[in-house]
Chains A and B, each alone.
Chain A
């Protein structure tokens, strides 16, 4: 019923590298961006912070520089017309303005407008701010708006930075890991926060396409605003919805890029949802051991790295994982493997009972 939609370009700026290539090289070496940093009054804690972010322009905040460095190479030589959309995915944007009492400057729509003007988009910027599923959901929004005819192509840009604001909140939630996070592991004890920006170009045209977005869904648990569902209901339904749209069985998925925050409840919930779908044997990873949890960027960043996996037919291990720590069996990738890949599933879950899933199929590969 709807025309196919593709992803045809991408980039990211993270603690592991300031472009796609450097990130992939670091991932293949199994480097981590997590290190000891001091953030506000939190001294010597593990976070994944970018160490030397270039000062490309002096009129930009730290986060804006991350966003600028990510998208600028992609739009540099592109005409941005009336059918070119711009979606920004972020949870907290320029939140540090609040500590200076500048609440108006911290508005997310202001950040989107500033970035949009900087790049020269002529359509109205769209902000998706939906907790930790923002990045994956923003891809769905781009696809859906292309399928309604509103746009021919959409640049999706996602970013969040490490802040005392978020750290203090996760800490009050007793959700911070004392050590670098250990997704799906029996000894996991919480999140490591990170910062990153990622960008993709979503298109109607199959030209230069890397993948087709064959199905996606973003369904709420309707259970609790902070606690993950005990049955993984929303994630189960999100994946089911994506599979249904793609017209494939769960067994057709070659690889799952899970959310895997390394909190006891989240990873358990995901394992339950995958088990309910009979996806126990499908190779699965969480990239949080490389990048930490980058909030509104995480879903998009992990989707980007997973597209690289897909294009290179290479499975990436779950850094930090040693032994299974979920009640249901899931096939956690523990070492690099060369495997032919066609379909991949990216998922995310977050506060507010939110979940998102997207299935990508390799094209032109």
Chain B
């Protein structure tokens, strides 16, 4: 097999994994720091995409629409946390069902507001890169960098800021955190809202790759959900590994064999990993983030 073909497959699989990581990051933060599985995560991603699309249509440059989308999803996230998630702490499966209901609600709400198909915009960046005889979507490759930066940002946010320390303290030593005066409610609201903001960011940044439709989140929902759970308690770093392994692996499989086998690969490896690591791959790690 030619070298350039191999190189493009590796690069594009890496970018597929990065896209999955971008989509799953917020979910991992919320799961890792709050122990909450947010099944409406993919709808926040969708809201982010719609927000970016709407402001871009209003004439704002695409690049500026991204922070706006993040702010919108963060605010919605904070409201959702205060109204719903806060009341269900410690009830993992109840939270899952409530957020499942929320995802149904958001999906239909977007249909009511925007209709089933929304006109796209022309100002979204498109460029391509050539490797040997093959050419690749440049924006897609850019996602590798975006994923890396996003991870770095979240990592620094959690380790170098006061908020991050508080957030980690509240999850690792909740009583101690309470005792030294950390308001865990506020920290949790912020954490959840950051998780939703990351989803909004994902929706906005992926807009040139995935069109904004009410059901766009579904495509990411299942896979990012699985990747985060397989990652286990050290959600953030663990998710980097699982998205690389599962997402990249299934993309490579799809390249050499067929798309359905790629999907089956994803699910089978997920099952296999769960079997080998019954509490997630990071269950025995020493690190905490």
Chains A and B form a bound pair:
no
